[in-house]
């Protein structure tokens, strides 16, 4: 590491406590203020993301006798406790541990799905999914796995690998921003006839808490959601980064008097390009676009969005499309505060775009 990098890290670290550097979120979770369409008035219960995932799997297994859940340590609840008590309720034949072998988990899931049952496979950490995913060529298989930075995970426990899978036709990829979306989107994945990968932002498992409808509901796959209205710039994100985007948008309002529209993509593949481009008049209305994600910038999914919007909105654009993302390095440990696309990095991109 260069002397300048060491000096910068030392200066930066001196302003942070150990709790801020390790384990503290680089954003503030912002609960949804409205329920998805059709759920207004339904009974709700306060849940974090881990509990909403557990609730979705419980409902899926109650309503589908063929559904089975398997993976590393799921029998006792898993390291994140997402499958807590499910074996007690549904028995060892339907909720069971597998060997520590991601290829085996995927292969077994494909066999279950090909035989006509519903497979819910857990890959304990998304970073280890790569040796397995070339097997995902069947139907009713949902692979649940973790996603994104957790504050202290480093290379093999903090990656955001969604872009790797968008090059595989037929897969559906989902990343929820909170408990309400997690439950509805996971139930949609489990009941979809196509193979789905459901990425769960691990830092939100206990950090995120919302009033989640207690009944059985789904949120359609392939549909984005506008979570903040604006007229000056469109900001697209997914998962944890939606909360970073919302905070940056608020900062832009306070410092620049700029109205930033924030869109949660929700489904990465197939992604809702019509919503980003023209539904509610987003980029065609604002004339500016920033895409932000935790994954490295090169070949990140933001590039696909930027390319599509540039083609469809060329005559509407008032400034170049910007991407704010992770850097093209392995995910660092002690340098994580430098790596992440923080509120201030997103704000700087907004300032550059509106002043172009």
Q: Could you list the active site residues?
A: 102, 157
How far is it, in rounded angstroms, from Cα 348 to Cα 324? 10
Q: Taking a C-beta distance cutoff of 8 angstroms, is the pair 50, 81 a contact? A: yes
Among 85, 99, 145, CA closest to 120:
145
How far is it, in rounded angstroms, from Cα 37 to Cα 28? 25
How far is it, in rounded angstroms, from Cα 205 to Cα 186? 14
**DSSP-assigned states of every residue in 3-37:** HHHHHHHHHHHTTS-HHHHTT--SS-----SSPPT
CB under 8 A, 24+ apart: contacts of 62-65: 63/216, 64/118, 64/190, 64/191
How far is it, in rounded angstroms, from Cα 327 to Cα 296? 5
Greatest alpha-carbon pair distance for the chain in Å reads 61
Q: Taking a C-beta distance cutoff of 8 angstroms, is the pair 140, 162 a contact? A: no
Among 47, 354, 99, 1, CA closest to 207:
47
232: left (phi over 0), alpha (psi -120 to 50) or beta: alpha
Q: Taking a C-beta distance cutoff of 8 angstroms, is the pair 221, 189 a contact? A: yes
Beta strands in the chain (DSSP E): 44-48, 68-71, 95-97, 119-123, 141-147, 172-174, 196-201, 209-213, 225-228, 233-237, 260-264, 267-269, 289-296, 322-326
Q: Taking a C-beta distance cutoff of 8 angstroms, is the pair 6, 331 a contact? A: no
């Amino acid at each position: 590491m260069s002397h300048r990098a060491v000096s910068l890290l030392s200066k930066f670290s001196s302003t942070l406590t150990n709790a801020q550097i390790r384990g503290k979120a680089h954003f503030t979770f912002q609960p949804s203020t409205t329920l998805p369409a059709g759920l207004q008035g339904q009974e709700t219960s306060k849940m974090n993301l881990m509990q909403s995932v557990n609730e979705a799997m419980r409902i899926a297994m109650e309503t589908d006798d063929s559904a089975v859940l398997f993976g590393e340590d799921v029998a006792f609840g898993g390291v994140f406790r997402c499958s807590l008590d499910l074996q007690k309720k549904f028995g060892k034949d339907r909720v069971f541990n597998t060997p520590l072998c991601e290829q085996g988990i995927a292969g077994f899931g494909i066999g279950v799905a090909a035989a006509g049952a519903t497979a819910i496979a857990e890959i304990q950490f998304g970073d280890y999914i790569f040796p397995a995913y070339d097997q995902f060529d069947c139907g009713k298989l949902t692979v649940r796995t973790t996603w994104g930075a957790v504050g202290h995970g480093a290379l093999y426990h903090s990656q955001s690998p969604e872009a790797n899978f968008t090059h595989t036709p037929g897969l559906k990829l989902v990343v929820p921003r909170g408990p309400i979306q997690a439950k509805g989107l996971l139930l949609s994945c489990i009941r979809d006839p196509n193979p789905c990968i459901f990425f769960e932002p691990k830092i939100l498992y206990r950090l995120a808490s919302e009033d989640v409808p207690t009944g059985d509901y789904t949120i359609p796959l392939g549909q984005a959601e506008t979570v903040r209205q604006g007229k000056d710039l469109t900001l697209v994100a997914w998962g944890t980064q939606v909360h970073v985007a919302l905070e940056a948008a608020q900062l832009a309002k306070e410092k620049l008097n700029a109205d930033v529209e924030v869109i949660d993509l929700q489904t990465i593949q197939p992604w809702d390009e019509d919503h980003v481009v023209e539904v509610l008049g987003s980029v065609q209305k604002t004339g500016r676009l920033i895409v932000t994600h935790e994954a490295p910038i090169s070949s990140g999914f933001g590039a696909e969005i930027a390319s599509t919007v540039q083609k469809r909105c060329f005559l509407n654009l008032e400034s170049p499309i910007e991407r704010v993302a992770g850097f093209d390095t392995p995910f660092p440990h002690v340098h994580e505060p430098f790596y992440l696309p923080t509120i201030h990095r997103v704000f700087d991109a907004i300032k550059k775009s509106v002043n172009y």
